[in-house]
Amino acid sequence: MKLSRWVPAFSAVIALALGVLLIIKTPDPKSPTSFLPPSRLFEKLEPLKVTPKKETQSQLPSVVPDAPASSSRELEKSVLNQKTAGNQRFESLTELIAQGSVAVREIAAIAAAPMPHFSLKENPHSQDAIQDRFEKSLRITAIEALDTIGATGVDVRQELQQVRDSQKDAEIVFLASIALAGIAEGRPGKVTRFIDQV
């Protein structure tokens, strides 16, 4: 019996709480953004614009790089120099590729460069086997770059044919042939799609 006395009071408290919640959650009909979900509300905000004071502007560091960018030819030599550290060679290749269509000839020269001969033993973890894979990866990356540059509308057929005709490594020749086939089909960028699928 005591419980039945508290049920109406408890129901009244719940009804009051729901009423307050409904009032708080009801959107303002005058504001067009009030009906947007919270994630869309932030789209209406303008970015904060901060302009440093003149005295602090002179203290800001210069954004101009200290060293001039290396020429395409220097980067090509760095990539192909086996005495240079591997990470430096890969960085040079990355920098060369970033130059885009300006460096097509140098990128093709890297892809066409003959593979060094290593005494590949049965051990796939030998120093020679690791070095062989690294040299091949540089050349494959160069072919991928040519393929990507070709997809931007630059004609790289001559460079890819040079790689295909002068390179002795079967995998590199195969990838150059795939890139050429993609261009012939009017769908350049085929090497990248092929590698993504494999």
pLDDT band at 6 (very low <50, low <70, confident <90, very high): low
- DSSP H stretches of helix in 36-126: 38-41, 54-57, 72-80, 86-98, 104-112
Render pLDDT for 157-174 as a digit per residue (tens, 0 to 9): 999 999 999 999 999 999
Q: Which residue has 């120093």 as its token pair?
A: 127
75 in Cβ contact with 95 (< 8 Å): yes
As a whole number of angstroms, the distance between CA 161 and CA 92 comes to 24
Instruction: Please say if the pLDDT value at position 196 is more than 60.
Output: yes
> 5 vs 2, 11, 12, 16, CA distance in Å?
5, 11, 12, 18
How far, in Å, CA of 5 to CA of 174, rounded? Answer: 87
Provide the b/e sequence for 49-73 (b: ≥16 CB within 10 Å): eeeeeeeeeeeeeeeeeeeeeeebe
Which pLDDT value is given to residue 87?
93
**CA-based end-to-end distance of the chain:** 75
pLDDT tens track for 27-70? 555 555 454 444 444 444 455 454 555 554 444 444 434 434 57
What integer best gives the mean pLDDT of the chain?
Answer: 77
What predicted TM-score, i.e. pTM, was given to this entire model? 0.63
For residue range 131-159, list pLDDT tens digits in order. 889 999 999 999 999 999 998 889 999 99
| DSSP-assigned states of every residue in 26-51 | SPPTT-GGGGS-HHHHGGGSPPP---
Measure Cα distances from 158 to 154, 165, 180 in Å.
11, 10, 9
> Over pLDDT 90: what percentage of the chain?
45
pLDDT of residue 105: 95
Q: How far apart are CA 98 and CA 92, in angstroms?
A: 10
Model confidence at 190: pLDDT above 90: no
**If pLDDT is split at 50, 70 and 90, which confidence band does 124 have?**
confident
Residue 193's pLDDT band (boundaries 50, 70, 90)? Answer: confident
Residues in the chain: 198
